[in-house]
A = this chain, B = another copy of it.
């Protein structure tokens, strides 16, 4: 059961001028489900992306990097679910390229103008014939208002589609930012989530867009974890169709740049949090905030140690304030000269630990009250500096085990 997450309404997802989306049921893995999505971008659009740091990155990720480097103007994205085309060696690369060639032919583009994306089971052969056979239907379906169908078309173990949308004005011109993402396991993004696609009609060049997509990933998808497993296919793409009519954004630190950044950050954060809320087996949404560090990096180490600890996560599932497990995780996070006597721990408004030991006023009933909530903030003070970091995660439940034990069946 997702935590405080509902399916988006199609009416809330504003179309982005210059972008059309079509979906199809190609039978990649299962029949009668939307499993192919094609994005088409107007000529002159800018596209930027960040991709997984997993060395075993999937074939489509390798092809995406090549095609973005080729710099001939990306005009289409093709996404399939049901098969990750990862761990597939040279044959996987051929299949990803074949997909791009097939779509390019139908759209009268060069293959380097197409970006491919795959998600699903690893180390199985991508049924590229079925995927290509599904492309005409996806193209026939193309329209600007298909965001909800696209969100459905990229789901794997997600229980709900994930989409977000914002609008704001630049010089009297209405600007739209709309995006979709998917989870829901193998989630510990390292540069990007499993799959995230955000589009805007803002006028901004590709270089600045690359800066923005990286900043947005760091503020959103790079702050979440479900099971600590960094996927082979993580990809987060930001597209700008240049059609909003305002003067081009030349620097992000301008009034228009900040407005765009705020909207892209808001959409990205909402999508990233939606992935955690719909994390496999999740029953709680947990914000882990570590402050008082000497660097952001050490705060992140501590926050991820807490967020990855199976013992901490099962305690949250059980609503059991067995909070020493949080201290233990901070202790092994890898901060070599950490002084335990300076550690403070709050659970929402309840102070649990002061100076490295149980706070004298702490009562288990207070911890229990917070642990029973669906949304909990864990706040750890390291007491050694001014840096801070935040990570979002979920608990570890029986359903996580069931979902992942049965994933392929």
Contacts and interface: CB of A to CB of B under 8 A. Distances in A.
A404 B123 contact: no
Given A331-B56, A357-B90, A405 B232 contact: no
Contacts of A5: none
A55 B332 contact: yes
B229 A332 contact: yes
Contacts of A400: 310, 314, 401
Contact of A320 (B330, B358, B405): B405
Contact of A232 (B53, B57, B328, B339): B328
Contacts of A144: none
A228 B308 contact: yes
Nearest to A316: B405
**Residue from A55, A57, A311 whose CB has the most chain B CB atoms within 10 Å:** A55
A335 interface: yes
Nearest to A331: B56
A290 interface: no
A227 interface: yes
A186 interface: yes
A311 B357 contact: no
A86 B311 contact: no
A320 B402 CA distance: 12
Interface in A302-321: 308-311, 314-315, 317-318, 320
A322 interface: yes
Task: Classify chain A's interface size.
Answer: 35 or more
A331 B398 contact: no
Given A87-B357, A121-B322, A328 B54 contact: yes
B402 A322 contact: no
Given A311-B185, A357-B92, A402 B398 contact: yes
A235 B90 CA distance: 48
Contacts of A336: 55
A167 B80 CA distance: 62
B324 A87 contact: yes
A91 interface: yes
A409 interface: yes
A157 to B, nearest CB: 11
**Residue from A188, A231, A401 whose CB has the most chain B CB atoms within 10 Å:** A401
Interface of A: 53-57, 84, 86-92, 121-125, 185-186, 188, 190, 227-232, 308-311, 314-315, 317-318, 320, 322-325, 327-332, 335-336, 338-341, 343, 353, 355-358, 396-398, 400-402, 404-409
